[in-house]
């Protein structure tokens, strides 16, 4: 496999990985006094934490210096692509490339790659928000990279 990373929904992961991420969050936010306190709060051992903590993280924590590619299937509506681009900019994303096919049967495939280094909020929240926009009929996270 050429790429070392996968994006996996936490719903199918063993609970231990989610707890490691929760422990990291407690430490980062100061809600735990240290690793021992954090692992105690989430119910895992220190050895489990040390085994996985450098290998699992929230999608938003992966954003430092990273690029994301998202594909959209957009209805052929005036201003819809502009709305998507404006939404990326409002969240602090910097659009790097846009590839848009011509609309066929009133739908167009659009691929947008943007720098998410300065993204405000969670990438997952942005994706969920975009999925609710009328006229966006499909949205997929294609790649995360440096």
Tens digits of residue pLDDT in 7-20: 777 788 899 999 99
DSSP 84-128: HHHHHHHTT-EEEEEEEPPPBTTEEEEEEEEE-TT--S-HHHHHH
Residue 109 confidence (pLDDT): 96
Length of the chain: 146
Domain ranges of the chain: 12-57, 63-145
> What is the mean pLDDT of the segment spanning 83-98?
95
Residue 118 confidence (pLDDT): 87
pLDDT tens per residue across span 111-144: 999 998 888 888 888 999 999 999 999 999 887 7
> What is the mean pLDDT of the segment spanning 54-82?
82
CATH superfamily for domain 63-145: ACT domain (3.30.70.260)
Quote the mean pLDDT of the chain: 88
Q: What is the pTM of this model?
A: 0.61
Residue 97 confidence (pLDDT): 94
As a whole-number percent, the residues of the chain with pLDDT over 70 amount to 90
């Amino acid at each position: 496999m050429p790429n070392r990373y996968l994006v996996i929904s936490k719903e199918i992961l063993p609970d231990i990985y989610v707890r490691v991420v929760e422990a990291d969050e407690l430490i980062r936010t100061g809600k735990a006094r240290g690793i021992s306190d954090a692992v105690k709060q989430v119910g895992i051992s220190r050895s489990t934490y040390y085994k996985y903590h450098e290998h699992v993280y929230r999608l938003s924590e992966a954003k430092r210096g990273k690029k994301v590619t998202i594909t959209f299937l957009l209805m052929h509506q005036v201003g819809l692509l502009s709305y998507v681009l404006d939404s990326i900019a409002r969240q602090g994303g910097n659009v790097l490339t846009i590839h848009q096919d011509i609309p066929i049967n009133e739908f167009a495939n659009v691929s947008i790659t943007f720098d998410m280094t300065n993204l405000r909020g969670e990438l997952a929240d942005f994706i969920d928000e975009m999925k609710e926009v009328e006229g966006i009929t499909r949205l997929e996270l294609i790649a995360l990279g440096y």
